[in-house]
Amino acid sequence: MYRQVWGVEAPSEGALKTVEVHVRRIRLKLGWKSDQWLVSVSGRGYALIPPK
């Protein structure tokens, strides 16, 4: 499935952890409102949603 969508093999588990680390750092910079801005989307990844 990954190859069909992206045209390459799925990234290694280590590469996926890199994304998680960067998302965690972004959340820390956003502060206590991070859950309002950067949310996890199950099976998809992450979404950046401005608060209302």
- Could you tell me the residue range of the domain that residue 7 belongs to? 2-48
Number of domains in the chain: 1
User: What pLDDT is recorded for position 1?
Assistant: 60
User: What pLDDT is recorded for position 4?
Assistant: 73
Question: Which residue, among 41, 26, 19, has the nearest Cα to 10 in the 3D structure?
Answer: 19
User: What pLDDT is recorded for position 32?
Assistant: 67
Contact 4, 18 (CB under 8 A): no
CA distances to 8, 26, 45, 49 from 30, in Å: 32, 6, 18, 12
User: What pLDDT is recorded for position 27?
Assistant: 80
The whole-model pTM stands at 0.52
Contacts of residue 50, Cβ cutoff 8 Å, sequence gap at least 6: 37
d(CA 10, CA 1): 9
**pLDDT tens-digit map of 11-44:** 777 766 777 888 888 888 877 666 677 888 888 7
